[in-house]
Structure 1
Amino acid sequence: MALALASTVGATTPPWRRTETRAPCASFDPLRSPYFGDLHIHTKFSADAYIFGTRVAPPDAYAFAREAPIVLADDNEDQTRSTRIDRPLDFAAVTDHSEFFGEVLLCDTPGSLVYDDPTCVLLRQKDTPQQQNIPTIFWLYPLSLSPSTHQPFCSEPGVDCAGASVSVWQQMQAAAEGAYDRTDACTFTTFLGYEYTASPLGAHLHRNVIFRNDRVPPTVSSYIETSTGGIPQGFWTAIENTCLQAGIGCDAVIIPHNSNLSGGRQFFDPADGAEALRRQTLEPLAEIHQIKGNSECRFDRLAGAGAGTADELCTFEQEDVAQQGPAGRPVPIDQYPPRNMIRNALKDGLAFEDRLGANPFRFGFVGSTDNHDGAAGSVAENGWAGGQGNNDSSPARQIGDNVRTNPGGLAVAWAEENSRDALFAAFKRRETYATSGTRPVVRFLAGDLAGVRCGSPGLVHAAYVSGTPMGGEIGPVHGARSPTFVVWAAKDPGTADAPGTDLQRVQIVKGWVDAGGTTHEQVFDVAGDPNNGADVDPATCAPRGAGARELCAVWRDPTFDRAERAFYYARVLENPTCRWSTRVCKSVGVDPFSPDCATQADSAGGAFTDCCLGPGNDAFLAPTVQERAWTSAIWYQPDGIARVNARVRYGAAPGTDRLALRLRLGRRAADLDPTRNDLVLRVSDDDDILAVTIPAGTMVAAGRKRFVLPAPLGPVARARLLFGRRQVQLGVTTAPTDLSRADRNDHMVTVALAAGLYRTSHTRLWTARGATLVATGH
């Protein structure tokens, strides 16, 4: 692990702006460290969690994430159980359902004007899962309608549901602030957020919004308030109006989740290129794994076919339905909505970019739990206490009603320090990965990668100088030859009581679109051994056989075509371990590995019949699982930036600095036309080093394929744009100016170019050399 985590530069400049008052973190790594967290947690303020018997509040969830015990509901909704996380999280966000914030608080507050209202009594009454249909209809059915409405009692005289909703939001803010470590120890970071829960006829079109800092809107924007504006466009507009464009220093990312239960509607066709770009900007991440299943890809082992894939590893943690609600029934694999799965959405995004000029589905990956017990990051398969109140509070209910659920996943962010600004910047640039609950460490970078070698102590530094990490983009860095990729993974170390599992292999998943607009995918094994013989002892669930502590590969794509848009992400697989349900079944005397499983289940009770589901009789379930991690993709853009040569020369006196910048891009993008679109060039670290807009028509033709700036424009003395047969070059030179915002040390710098809908960017580690700051042509 020391190989890939060690920093070899002494820079202290972050590539993001500090927006909050706090002590600087004592631990700061310019080459970034992995931080593990959970961005999807529910407490009693979520109506469904309250129905399940959950009574813990946001402070309890944050305390649990830091190793405090938490109280859970038992089968009777009494608060008699408890659990504790196996190791603390680095960050967390409580994201209660924003719909009915006010109503839940009023119903939970003795003495409120509606405390004895029948709807409130229904919410508080103790029910078995089978009896919860009635409160679910009263409380959650409105979320399937458009327009949606608040509870009827909110219109009664003197009842202030809106004010109560603000009170809940303020309590959530106070809880996040109280748990946030603002000291230089930086042990724990909280984020403010909530869930938007549009569920038309049971289709999950849900999203979490995560805010950068404590400058947040005064009220939440739930589906009820935004439903008439479209799903999710009404919500997007609300976040733009109340946060992003409100002038209060607010910033946010929106994270869709449970596309696997969306009936194919989560990732809808964009109306046009502008809507595609809007989605790409507002929704940089997607939650690929959580308690209600995995959304990477889907393969039915009994049918021998997949939903747009032949990848047999896509049986992992699949729900058997395509959506919940009235249409929530199993469907044959050939009728399953392909775009329920994120990999298919990523592929379609490439095709949309070719047609519309922007990719609506340029998602980075995170995992989280969606735990409705307030148990942030409760993901251990061994001894899992469940995550849905009294719905999975005992072995019979876990197996009989919820065998297809799983403990959920974790979000991992590569950041310089454990602070809100640093982690949020990682979310925005998509330098994140998801895990199914374990904690492997994964690096994935691509580009020229000159001098990058597995085993080299300078691997990470060299890769950041000559390549981009997960979440980024690359152009044709080697011309017609494939870019170079490096992936490195280290096993989860685990705990003293539960050591981590060895790694089996690392794969690179590629998706691309051909010249005819058809999308494709291919999975490459690049490190490790799928036939290493490792398995589990069926009697004890103890692991048998060995895998790897670390795996590394430097790889080039043998199918690369410089003309085809593509994405690549890494998938890291651990050796097999017993699934949580196998351990629960064994605890009651039912052995999923045994040929006598059915007889044992009959003796244990009808609830345990599903213990015997497996490869021979179920499309997805098995007694063992392979825990895994998925990195955010790296996108190959045929019209993206291939190389940047740049040099900042610091002058001896203020205002005498100069920047010389030359970009080499791939093929010409349709919107990269200086006669009809503004050219917007931005060079930035934590500040804008140079930000210039060249208005459409300002550059003049100096030949058939060459445009020049006829006169200085602001700090820019000269600019030249040359369209070649297979590449585009843009050169910019400043006059003497103030570039003191470019810090004089090694640090990450981003060069971004925009024109119309066209966007491309290039982030590398620039190096300080005396009185210059240099990007060396990678």
Structure 2
Amino acid sequence: MMPLRKHRYRLLASYAIACLSVCTSLSVANAAGPQRTEVREPCLHVVPERQALFGDLHVHTSYSFDSYLSSQRRDPWDAYGYAKGEPITLPDAAGEQAVVARIGRPLDFAAVTDHAEFLGQIDVCTMDATKPGYWWPHCVMTRAQGLWPQLLAAHWWTRLGGQLDVPPQQSFACRLSDCDAAELNAWGSIQQAAEAHYDRSAECAFTTFVGYEYTEAFDQKNMHRNVIFRNDKVPERPVSVYDTFEKGFPDLWQKLREGCINAGTGCDVLSIPHNPNLSGGLMFRDPRTVQELEDRLFFEPVVELIQHKGASECRFDRLRGLGLDTVDEACDFEQIPADNLNMMGTIQGEVLTERAREVPLEVFAPRNMVRNALKAGLQLEDTLGSNPFRLGFIGSTDTHSAAPGGAEENNYPGHLGRRDAEYANVQDHFYSNPGGLAVVWAEENSRDSVFEAIRRRETYATSGTRPLLRFFAGNYPADMCEDPDMLRNAYAEGVPMGGQLQPSAGGLRFLVVAGKDTGTDRYPGTDLQRVQVVKGWVDRDGAARERVFDIAGSADNGATVDPHSCAPIGEGLKQSCVVWQDPDFNPDEDAFYYVRVLENPTCRWSTLQCQAAGVNPLSTACAVQAEVATARAQAQGASGDVYGRCCLAAEEEPFYSPVIQERAWSSPIWVSRRSGF
């Protein structure tokens, strides 16, 4: 075995990191580029070895019930404008349109994904006062300014959507007005907004996708999928739980085959499962039929690994020193205590439902965490002949404030309208986070190129920052980092993240190249602390195993934050290039590998917002400061304990810390004795 190869700063500074994002030499592996399915001008900026594009594929606007009834009034056009760097106005904690929000850096691509189930019903309830349905009491409550009527309306909507204890049913407003026609109107507007903001010119500055959210969540167990179409050839109507309730998400795939893939219109589509941490163990069930297995592999090449309702990589309880089928202590990152959508049930500082409380590890379903699902996929491959869980990674926000890409800890306006605006963010959504970003390696910023990158899993997720990360496996020399044709040869002699190869007796080497987020003039990026390879495999006894290897950097680099200002202290890696071999490689064992990059410590969004209110979670005077700030907020109209959570002691919490490590996760590479996916 070759020993671990040290990162090479000088060589990397002169070549490798530059190549990481802009290298343009001819790629033998991808000379043809993406298949064209739409009419548009050719992009001027084309990178055969592919460029990193940052986006958000989980975005709600006022067309979604839970956005509108949180006093949020920005529509799909506004959302795309925000993604491109334009300011939007959002509600404050009182529901007044008074908060101006603007993203720190524009995105490269985005998709509005409003809830399919209620497009027509929300249109009837909110758009036209001349329609009788507009005045149905539930619609009036949805438009109400008061918080409690809005919350009652939310409960009513979730019941109508089949998320509680009855099958989905339409509002009585649909007997008073034509919800089918209203659905067509809303679906048409979503398409129009996507087309209006899609840059079809040669500049290729911004890409949109037509999409929606399929919202299956019986008993509040999240089976949601974001349905993303490749081009403007889309079905007449979106498929919703009203169409699939008895059969569930496998029927979504079948209906997408019928209405899109096999329709003969040029329609193509993906389905992206999101935040499985709240699925109650149901998101990644064993396939019940061959068709279900094949459909999952075809429609769902990636999973949303992080969003504002938490991270779903893995789970570790710091207090108990115990993980969910893991000993990886870095798995305490942005964990939600509960395992279902009731986690949103905190109002004015009080948890209003027992199902929002912490679920012990002993009863927390292992496959709520994606790493465990990946390991289960290896085991199932031995019995099914195919691995149903070959999942690449993306992140997104799940914003309900029409703020795609608003994942910055230092610039976080909240993601649920008034419900987490201003002080309400700390008071009621303390365990949420700003969400993540989806990153693709694509030749150009066009729908075809980005869509194909997702389909082949050449993607990675970030927790909101923008480090660069590349990951390859193949028959590489030990000095690959010094090769002036590094990327060209990496593609020609191996596979990138998301790929699969067969083991050989001589082993294989992995190429890992990472660079810190360069940041902005106002907020410089954070150095990297560590680069890790996460391995999962099935041993000779059929048991699923895992191991995490540190391949660059150190957990003991001394980096921390100033407790008063949150300014970073200490340095880390600016960039890293490593050629690595698994010291325990066994060609008789199927395995997956992915890269995780950890940044140096920085302050969490909640710490920054608490400090802005005069409450410092890193101070011994925190409790006194919180009392003063809460009294001030109550004098201005707040109710309940507003800032008490700022003073939670990290040493007494299983997951929370006022200081975090932002991170990125590459899609896995699978090493399998079976050929193909």
Normalised by the size of structure 1, how large is the TM-score?
A: 0.80
Task: Work out whether 1:278 is the aligned partner of 2:295.
Answer: yes
Aligned residue type for 1:487 = V
SS at match of 2:507: coil
Task: Work out whether 1:415 is the aligned partner of 2:433.
Answer: no
- The residue aligned with 2:41 is 23
Normalised by the size of structure 2, how large is the TM-score?
A: 0.92
- The residue aligned with 2:143 is 124
Task: Work out whether 1:517 is the aligned partner of 2:517.
Answer: no
- The residue aligned with 2:71 is 53
Greater Cα shift, 322-331 or 182-191: 322-331
Once residues 389 and 112 of structure 1 are traced to their aligned partners in structure 2, the CA distance between those partners, rounded to angstroms, is 26
Once residues 517 and 160 of structure 1 are traced to their aligned partners in structure 2, the CA distance between those partners, rounded to angstroms, is 56
Once residues 103 and 32 of structure 2 are traced to their aligned partners in structure 1, the CA distance between those partners, rounded to angstroms, is 32
1:214 offset after TM fit, Å? 0.2
Alignment partner of 2:507 out of 479, 482, 485:
482
1:600 offset after TM fit, Å? 2.1
Task: Work out whether 1:497 is the aligned partner of 2:522.
Answer: yes
1:545 offset after TM fit, Å? 0.5
Q: Identify, as 1 or 2, the structure richer in helix.
A: 2
1:638 offset after TM fit, Å? 1.4
1:273 offset after TM fit, Å? 4.2
Q: Where in structure 2 are the equivalents of 1:164-183 lying within 5 Å? A: 164-183=182-201
SS at match of 1:30: coil
Once residues 417 and 162 of structure 1 are traced to their aligned partners in structure 2, the CA distance between those partners, rounded to angstroms, is 38
CA contact (8 A) 1:571 1:628 kept: yes
- The residue aligned with 1:568 is 593
Once residues 516 and 198 of structure 2 are traced to their aligned partners in structure 1, the CA distance between those partners, rounded to angstroms, is 29
CA contact (8 A) 1:511 1:519 kept: yes
Task: Work out whether 1:320 is the aligned partner of 2:337.
Answer: yes
CA contact (8 A) 1:37 1:410 kept: yes
Once residues 348 and 241 of structure 1 are traced to their aligned partners in structure 2, the CA distance between those partners, rounded to angstroms, is 30
- The residue aligned with 2:345 is none
Deviations 1:628-647 (A, max 9, x none): 0000000111123xxxxxxx
- The residue aligned with 2:383 is 355
CA contact (8 A) 1:450 1:466 kept: no
Q: Where in structure 2 are the equivalents of 1:5-24 lying within 5 Å? A: 5=21, 6-9=23-26, 13-24=31-42
Q: Identify, as 1 or 2, the structure richer in strand.
A: 1
Once residues 127 and 197 of structure 1 are traced to their aligned partners in structure 2, the CA distance between those partners, rounded to angstroms, is 26
Q: Unaligned regions of 5+ residues in structure 2, if any?
A: 1-16, 343-352, 631-640
CA contact (8 A) 2:141 2:149 kept: no
1:131 offset after TM fit, Å? 4.9
SS at match of 2:167: coil
- The residue aligned with 2:670 is 635
Aligned residue type for 2:512 = V
- The residue aligned with 1:65 is 83
Once residues 528 and 169 of structure 2 are traced to their aligned partners in structure 1, the CA distance between those partners, rounded to angstroms, is 49
1:614 offset after TM fit, Å? 3.7
Q: Where in structure 2 are the equivalents of 1:324-723 lying within 5 Å? A: 324-325=341-342, 327-395=355-423, 397-450=424-477, 453-476=480-503, 479-605=504-630, 606-640=641-675
1:274 offset after TM fit, Å? 4.0
CA contact (8 A) 1:527 1:553 kept: yes
Once residues 491 and 218 of structure 1 are traced to their aligned partners in structure 2, the CA distance between those partners, rounded to angstroms, is 44
CA contact (8 A) 2:306 2:436 kept: yes
Deviations 1:290-335 (A, max 9, x none): 0110000010000110111111001101111111346433121222
Once residues 265 and 160 of structure 2 are traced to their aligned partners in structure 1, the CA distance between those partners, rounded to angstroms, is 32
Q: Unaligned regions of 5+ residues in structure 1, if any?
A: 641-759, 762-778
CA contact (8 A) 2:413 2:421 kept: yes
Aligned residue type for 1:247 = G
Once residues 170 and 586 of structure 2 are traced to their aligned partners in structure 1, the CA distance between those partners, rounded to angstroms, is 54
Greater Cα shift, 604-613 or 626-635: 604-613
CA contact (8 A) 2:125 2:173 kept: no
Deviations 1:388-422 (A, max 9, x none): 10011112x11111111111100000000000000
| Relative contact order, higher structure (CA 8 A, sep 6+) | 2
Once residues 447 and 31 of structure 2 are traced to their aligned partners in structure 1, the CA distance between those partners, rounded to angstroms, is 16
- The residue aligned with 1:2 is 18
1:451 offset after TM fit, Å? 6.6
SS at match of 2:526: coil
- The residue aligned with 1:728 is none
Deviations 1:534-571 (A, max 9, x none): 11111111111011110121111111111111110000
SS at match of 2:587: coil
SS at match of 1:449: coil
Once residues 359 and 488 of structure 1 are traced to their aligned partners in structure 2, the CA distance between those partners, rounded to angstroms, is 28
CA distance change for structure 1 residues 319 and 69 in 2, over 3 Å: closer, same or farther?
same
Once residues 14 and 113 of structure 1 are traced to their aligned partners in structure 2, the CA distance between those partners, rounded to angstroms, is 55
CA contact (8 A) 1:4 1:457 kept: no
Alignment partner of 1:160 out of 178, 194, 200:
178
Once residues 612 and 309 of structure 1 are traced to their aligned partners in structure 2, the CA distance between those partners, rounded to angstroms, is 29
Deviations 1:487-511 (A, max 9, x none): 1001111111111001111000011
Greater Cα shift, 63-72 or 596-605: 596-605
Once residues 152 and 661 of structure 2 are traced to their aligned partners in structure 1, the CA distance between those partners, rounded to angstroms, is 38
